Amino acid sequence: TCEQTQNNFATLYQLGPPPGNRLFGTSLAGLIYSNDSSCSWLVAGGLAAGSSVSDFFPDPTNPDRVLAVVAVTAEAGVVSQVLESADGGATFGSQPLYTAASGDNISGIEISRSTPTTVYLTLTSGAAHTPKLAQSTNSGGSWQVRDLSAHLPAGTNFIRLIAIDPTDPQKVFLRIRSLGDGGTTEAVAVTDDSGATASTPLSFPGGILSAFTRMSNGTIVLGGVVGTTSVAYTSADGGSTFQPVPTPQPSFRGLSSRGTTLYVVADNQADGYAIGTSTDLGMTWKPLMGWADSVYTPIQAIQTCLMTYCQTDCRARASAGQWSPDMCSATAAPLP
Tens-place pLDDT, residues 34-46? 998 888 899 999 9
Separation between Cα atoms, residue 132 and residue 121, nearest integer Å: 8
If pLDDT is split at 50, 70 and 90, which confidence band does 20 have? confident
Torsion over CA: 322, 326, 327, 328 (sign): positive
Torsion over CA: 65, 71, 75, 76 (sign): positive
Per residue in 94-149, pLDDT (tens digit) is 899 999 998 899 999 999 999 999 999 999 999 999 999 999 999 999 999 999 99
- Phi and psi for 83 in degrees, rounded to 5? -115, 155
1-5, 165-169, 324-328: least confident range = 324-328
DSSP code string of 145-196: EEE-GGGS-TTEEEEEEEEE-SS-TT-EEEEEEEEETTEEEEEEEEESSTTS
Task: Note the pLDDT of residue 247.
Answer: 86
Torsion of CA 198, 242, 249, 24, to 10 degrees: -40
> What SS3 class is residue 299?
coil
CA 54 to the chain's CA centroid: 11
Q: Are strands 45-46 and 91-92 parallel, antiparallel or unpaired?
A: parallel
Task: Note the pLDDT of residue 182.
Answer: 66
Q: How many CB atoms lie within 10 A of CB 258?
A: 11
Q: Percentage of the chain with pLDDT > 70?
A: 90
Separation between Cα atoms, residue 297 and residue 175, nearest integer Å: 38
Separation between Cα atoms, residue 309 and residue 301, nearest integer Å: 12
Q: Percentage of the chain with pLDDT > 90?
A: 73
Helix (H) or strand (E) holding 82: strand 77-85
**Closest by CA position to 160, among listed 188, 141, 195:** 188
76 pLDDT more than 70: no
Give the burial string for 89-125 (b: 16+ CB within 10 Å, else e): bbbbeeebbbebeeebbbbbbbbbbeeeebbbbbbbb
